[in-house]
Amino acid sequence: MTEKKPSLLSVRNIEVYANDKHIVKGVDLTVNAGEVHAVMGPNGSGKSTFASALAGHPFLTLFGEVLLEGEEISTLTPDERALKGLFLGFQYPVAVPGVTVAGFIKAALEARENTPLSLIAFRKQLTSALERLDISTEFASRYINDGFSGGEKKRLEILQMLLLKPKVALLDEIDSGLDIDALKTVAGGINHAREAGAGIVLVTHYQRILDYVKPDAVHVFKGGRIVKSGGPEQALELEAKGYEWLDAPKSTAGGI
């Protein structure tokens, strides 16, 4: 008998507004430990807004239930959600001149643990993660995303995820703009987090990253709703047919 995986993220009847615009319209989703859920859909379908709202974007208003390991977190601030174990990998990471990669990640780790981290212990963790992602150690002394290529920015998002070890990672189009080498590196980091027991919500337009990260489920967003859920084969169907053949239902729809 297969052991049931514990539920990490459970969202029910999620509605999201940006000012008066109703963007996400009644979404259910459950992500268990070690699972990857791919969220696909056309531009403007609400999938990135959904991920941002779960992470606590201050310009979005969320209604519904968001449980992280059974704890309601929808009223928490973004930093409080992060401390609970929720991670958001950005589609467009911002530059922070003057703040080094190493300094930022060390401060984030100390905030999560609420205790100072010895420099020796931190360097050991950082070096191991850099090696896993095949990134030069010089990367750690650079300012965050300052002059970074698109691939370097996405590698930094994955580096943070590996070191922070979140319970659930929301990755918003982490594969956009990547060449094949960077794509494989990012995919390798996602697979490592999954093997360590994290739940992954992978927002993507394209099937190609799913050649390297096999999803447990694929959910299709259209019109602010999940209109179809299935296995990995669904991504191939979308690649072949596009999204026009999917019509958003009038009633709310949910994931699995």
The string of pLDDT tens digits covering residues 187-216 is: 999 999 999 999 999 999 888 899 999 999
CA distance 107 to 164: 11
Query: What backbone phi and psi angles, to 5 degrees, belong to 177?
Result: 75, 15
Question: For the residues 67-85, what does the mean pLDDT come to?
Answer: 96
| CB-facing half-sphere around the CA of 191: CA atoms within 13 A | 14
- Could you give the domains of the chain? 7-94+166-241 (3.40.50.300)
Q: Is the pLDDT of residue 109 over 80?
A: yes
pLDDT at 1: 46
Q: Is the pLDDT of residue 229 over 80?
A: yes
CA distance 189 to 174: 11
CA distance 207 to 218: 10
* Residue from 26, 24, 22 nearest 251 by CA: 26
Q: Which residue has the higher pLDDT, 1 or 240?
A: 240
Q: What is the pTM of this model?
A: 0.90
% of the chain exceeding 70 in pLDDT: 93
Q: Is the pLDDT of residue 167 over 50?
A: yes
Q: What contacts 16, CB < 8 A, 6 or more positions away?
A: 22, 23, 24, 46, 49, 50, 53, 60, 61, 62, 63, 224
Amino acid at residue number 13: N
Tell me the pLDDT of the chain averaged across its residues: 90
C-alpha dist (Å) from residue 252 to 47, 71, 148, 231? 15, 24, 41, 21
Q: Is the pLDDT of residue 256 over 60?
A: no
CB 132 within 8 A of CB 103: no
**Residue 124 CA, distance from chain mean position:** 25
% of the chain exceeding 90 in pLDDT: 76
Question: What is the maximal distance between C-alpha atoms in the chain?
Answer: 57
pLDDT at 134: 87
Q: How many residues does the chain have?
A: 256
* Residue from 55, 255, 69 nearest 157 by CA: 55
CB 232 within 8 A of CB 215: yes
